[in-house]
Amino acid sequence: MQYRNLGLFIDGEWIDARERRTIAVLNPSNGTELGRLPVANAEDIDHAVAAAVRGFEVWSEKSAYERAGILQRAAQLLRERTQRIAELVCLEQGKPLADAVGEVKNLADIVAWDAEEGRRIYGRTIPSRIPKHSLATVREPIGPVAAFAPWNYPALLPLRKISAILAAGCSVVLKPAEETPATSFEVVEAFIEAGVPAAAINVVYGDPARTSEQLIAHPEIRAITFTGSTAVGRQLAKLCGQYLKKCVMELGGHAPVIIMDDVPDVEELAVATAYRKFKNASQGCVNPSRYFVHESIFDRFVDAFVAKTRTLRVGDAADPGVDVGPLMHERRVQAMQSLTEDALACGATLRCGGRAPDLPGYFWEPTVLTHVPASARLMNEEIFGPIVPFNPFSDLDAVIAEANRLEYGLAAYAFTRSLETARYLARKLRAGMIGLNTYSLGVPDSIASPETPFGGIKASGFGREGGCEGLEAFLETKLISEYSHQ
């Protein structure tokens, strides 16, 4: 497909490079340059915030019903553009086209859900202790919001932030990933064409540390929403605390998977597990990443998993039949090599993969390791790539303790035919989202449903995206106390 011209979007204007520094946008499947992206300077960021302030005044004054109608029109445009946006995801992020369509086809449902939630922002009345006195609360939009989105779901994650922010009546300055700008532009254009005031959505790119610090410090930015690594999230949360800004932090994960000995079909589950594990080249925060399989079925499960893994085709995301596309950067390939070498040095056994294939682009073979010691980095650091550690277990409480050992708490998964065991696992596993006998946390082929809250505990963040909880961070509660002289 033809790649679009790249620019910033500020106050309703697409701004090209002009005198600005540019950075290359690369196709991760082959390393070729797709285009040059202008980097916002300090003046651009201030301009974007000033526009968002004006946009907020216009957008927040519209009725919830009018805003909902505009968002519903945006949802329809997104439905019509599913294929085009999916092709950009495939090109920029390296997700095989079928998987990219799975990501993009959920966008419209998210916007439609948020549109309706925006009409249900209710206050309440409170009985007063004083005659002729009334007490009531109203929920009001907080103001301009700064949103930071990563590259691994380049359509879904910016969309989910924009949609909730607008549904709450706020404006937004969005900093998506520099690696996937054209995808973000297509999402933003759907909202603008649907009738959202241009100044209410602004898009900037630049050095992540400098851009985030300037946006968070700006007195007109009233809330922050960030999806990314725990390390960066700690820094941004610290800045939010310094400037007393509300924030949502959706951070890293290292999701454990516990597979009990009573699962009905060991081999069938192993094959389904391999498919799920290597989707998006395993670049996902809720991706299942530490596998604990009961010792009585361990060999059968791992053998079937390895056999299926060996059949997965690795290659250019645009090629039909490719199952596993590239990683996003060369540094991700280096990270996979380092994690694998460390695990082997700690005594793990390599069952398949373990190297970068001889392909252009940024690839790592789907890799399976067994009997990986708890001291290995692989069992402690977020993997974010196609490496799978398997360990056997016999004691349920001991494996739950190991699953809960890390600071992460985003997602956890467990498989068992026993209702009693399933309920016990759901109660004991420490994570914001639990999948029981499923790897889906909502809509198939996507990472979440519009109607379900998405987020973690511990070092995996706080606040939620999606569901009725998804608008909370962008609203303030005002108490109105009124005395009547009548």
Q: Which residues are designated catalytic?
A: 250, 285
CA distance 445 to 85: 16
How many Cβ atoms sit within 10 Å of the Cβ of residue 344?
16
Residue 387 near residue 369, CB atoms below 8 Å: yes
Residue 414 near residue 258, CB atoms below 8 Å: yes
Q: Residue 289 has which token pair?
A: 């990443």
* Nearest of 104, 136, 139, 146 to residue 118 by alpha carbon: 139
CA distance 247 to 89: 27
| Identity of residue 256 | P
Question: Phi and psi of 293, rounded to 5°?
Answer: -115, 135
CA distance 150 to 184: 11
CA distance 158 to 205: 13
The conformation of residue 147, written as its DSSP 8-state character, comes to E
* Nearest of 100, 113, 66 to residue 450 by alpha carbon: 113
Beta strand pairing call for 349-352 and 367-370: antiparallel
Q: Residue 484 has which token pair?
A: 């009547």
Which bin fits 316, alpha (ψ -120 to 50), beta or left (φ > 0)? Answer: beta
CA distance 190 to 74: 5
Query: Diameter of the chain by CA atoms?
Result: 84
CA distance 444 to 449: 9
Question: Phi and psi of 137, rounded to 5°?
Answer: -115, 145
Q: How far apart, in Å, do the first and last CA atoms of the chain sit?
A: 70
Residue carrying structure tokens 């900093």:
175
